[in-house]
Amino acid sequence: EAQVTQNPRYLITVTGKKLTVTCSQNMNHEYMSWYRQDPGLGLRQIYYSMNVEVTDKGDVPEGYKVSRKEKRNFPLILESPSPNQTSLYFCASGQGNSPLHFGNGTRLTVT
């Protein structure tokens, strides 16, 4: 089954404790992206990747890192999480002009 898999679905952590949200897709898509969703602000792009070893900043990259060492994986790293990074995070992948496929989301709470 074609899918984007994000883990974990829920994560509660404390300020400053490094964490990684994993994202994997099995559709051989070149394009992958991370979004965060906040009430009243909609979805905002954090980082995206056009292919392996090619990543670039989106609209709100501060406080986040990503890597794309393999085509299927695109982890999101928060080196020192802060409460303002409490949000719902989505990983998405796509190819060409086709619609983006989204993971099920990761609800992160930073206390």
Partner 1 sequence: AQKITQTQPGMFVQEKEAVTLDCTYDTSDPSYGLFWYKQPSSGEMIFLIYQGSYDQQNATEGRYSLNFQKARKSANLVISASQLGDSAMYFCAMREAFNNRKLIWGLGTSLAVNP
Distant-in-sequence contacts of 62-68, Cβ < 8 A, 24+ apart: 64/34, 66/34, 68/32
Question: Reduced to 3 states, what is the DSSP secondary structure of residue 92?
Answer: strand
In this chain, which of 73, 77, 102, 109 binds partner 1, going by CB under 8 A?
102
The three-state secondary structure class of 96 is: coil
Q: Which 3-42 positions form the footprint of partner 1 (CB under 8 A)? A: 31, 33, 40-42
- Interface map 54-73 toward partner 1 (x if CB under 8 A): --x-xx--------------
Tokens of 16: 């400053």
* Cα 99–chain centre separation: 17
Q: Does 1 bind partner 1 (CB under 8 A)?
A: no
Considering only residues 29, 36, 68, 101, which one is a binding residue for partner 1 as defined by CB under 8 A?
Answer: 101
Q: How far is CA 61 from the centre of its chain?
A: 11
Shortest Cβ 91–partner 1 spacing (Å): 10
Which chain residues interact with partner 1 by CB under 8 A? 31, 33, 40-43, 45, 48, 50, 56, 58-59, 88, 90, 92, 97, 99-105, 107
